[in-house]
Amino acid sequence: MFGGSFDPPHLGHALLVALLRARGEVDRVVVAPVFDHPLAKGTKTPFAKRLAWTRAAMRMHGDFVEVTDLERSLAEADPSRPSYSLRLLEAVAEQHRGAQVRLVIGSDIVRRAETARWHKWDEIEARFPPLVVPRAGYADAVDCALPEVSSSDVREAAARGDWDAVRRRVPGAVADLMQVPDRGCVWVVGHGHVARHAEPWLVERGYAVCRVSGRDVVAGRAAWPQTVPAAVWVLTSDGAIADVGARLADADVLPAGVPVFHGAGARSAAALLGTLRPRNPVGSLHPICALRRERPWPSLLSEATFGLEGDPEAARFLEALVSPQPFLRLGGLGERGRLAYHAACALAANHLSVLEARACDVLRQQGHDPAFIEDAVRTLMRSAMDNLHDLGIPAGITGPMSRGDIGAVQAHLAALDEPTRSLYARLCEDLGALIGG
């Protein structure tokens, strides 16, 4: 567990993770920006922005790193408790049961004896044995030390507009985000799967985010933000969107002209948010991406294509918001076409689970070790999807159908039981039509 203010994250932070990985000392690193700092270090940048910067800095490490917003969740659950490292370590250990959790710190902290000021340092040492990473100026001569870079130096360079100095000290992706102009605030209504991914995505585009509980809005007890929004994105369950729109209209909290859009794929903006018109333009922005709140990192939202439509003013805002990512215009589809669009998305996102379940069933019935079955099938499915992504259809397709080996397919069918046999046969027919076999 590697915690810090990350205001902003610099090359030393990114290289620390690379050093741990190269040494092979750990299987995974959890990086946690602090929500507030108990030692009163200057952390003036909003948490959501520091979280987005840290995720940008660590993205190069892929699945080896998890950048978590756990510190904020802990603070929201009990605002009276300080943001101590021990509390965070215990929460990380709870999330990763069965793993040995260790604290990562720099040798500068040890050499300056800063740990004497830490809350229950003795207990941290006993329960979460620290990994001390050498930093230049605080390392032995034989150590491979990380460069001595400080976030305060980066902030000072940014304040005087010396962006060359900033770029020499931080990952390029972080420098790019630091130079994104502030574009105002977006109210995000809802705390579900998409909302969890939407906040850092919006922050990367220069928007502050004010989160609003969808349940509180529907119940009529919402505490509306004081900040005037540039837009409102309703990311509640589909069934609550119309109620949220009605509450927004009744509360009269939005200035005229502020666009309001929802994230559902199957219904148009006019159908669900029509109560806000004509005072506020309405639209919809549907990410064509499978998102789970339990897996906020790494998020694919920044790579997704979007489906969007709405009133002209709302559509213009959404196209500028999404750019340069691709999008599909849904405005001219009509109700049936809109449902067919959503069905296509559901077909790709939801029904892979049927194939996984059927394949796992066959292997379980053969008596293979259950501990290995799901990993085997998921690795196979992931590699097949990677091939399709990189090579396309039909080049990325493997297996007997791609080779025209009908005898193998017939043998497979004879070996399978129902209902897997019928599913396999139907998919082979469709695959044959797809590849022209």
Evaluate if residue 43 carries a pLDDT over 70: no
The CA distances from residue 21 to 42, 89, 93, 269, 338, in Å, are 29, 20, 20, 47, 46
In tens, the pLDDT along 370-397 reads 989 999 999 999 999 999 999 998 899 9
pTM: 0.86
As a whole number of angstroms, the distance between CA 350 and CA 354 comes to 8
- Does residue 47 lie in a domain region? yes
User: Does residue 361 sit in helix, strand or coil?
Assistant: helix
Evaluate if residue 42 carries a pLDDT over 60: no
As a whole number of angstroms, the distance between CA 373 and CA 354 comes to 15
pLDDT grade, residue 142 (50/70/90)?
Answer: low
pLDDT given at position 100: 95
Number of domain units in the chain: 3
**DSSP secondary structure, 6-67, as one string:** -SS--HHHHHHHHHHHHHT--S-EEEEE-SS-TT-----S-HHHHHHHHHHHHGGGGGGEEE
In tens, the pLDDT along 267-309 reads 999 999 999 999 999 999 999 999 988 887 778 899 999 999 9
pLDDT given at position 140: 73
As a whole number of angstroms, the distance between CA 313 and CA 8 comes to 35
pLDDT given at position 111: 83
Whether 376 and 428 map to the same domain: the answer is yes
Whether 284 and 381 map to the same domain: the answer is no
User: Does residue 284 sit in helix, strand or coil?
Assistant: strand
pLDDT given at position 279: 95
- Does residue 152 lie in a domain region? yes
Among 340, 364, 387, give the residue marking a domain's end: 340
Locate 76 and state its tokens: 């929201």
Whether 16 and 163 map to the same domain: the answer is yes
Whether 78 and 191 map to the same domain: the answer is no
Among 288, 314, 340, give the residue marking a domain's end: 340
- Does residue 345 lie in a domain region? no
User: Does residue 307 sit in helix, strand or coil?
Assistant: strand
Whether 225 and 364 map to the same domain: the answer is no
Whether 298 and 189 map to the same domain: the answer is yes
Q: By residue range, what is the domain housing residue 429?
A: 350-435
Whether 193 and 138 map to the same domain: the answer is no
In tens, the pLDDT along 76-123 reads 888 888 888 999 999 999 999 999 999 999 888 888 888 888 899 999
As a whole number of angstroms, the distance between CA 310 and CA 331 comes to 7
Locate 165 and state its tokens: 């100095």
Nearest to 319 by CA among 366, 279, 284: 284
pLDDT given at position 110: 84
Among 146, 178, 210, give the residue marking a domain's end: 178
Whether 67 and 165 map to the same domain: the answer is yes
Percent of the chain clearing pLDDT 70 (strictly above): 97
Locate 116 and state its tokens: 């004497």
pLDDT given at position 116: 87
In tens, the pLDDT along 324-346 reads 999 999 998 999 999 999 999 99
As a whole number of angstroms, the distance between CA 431 and CA 437 comes to 8
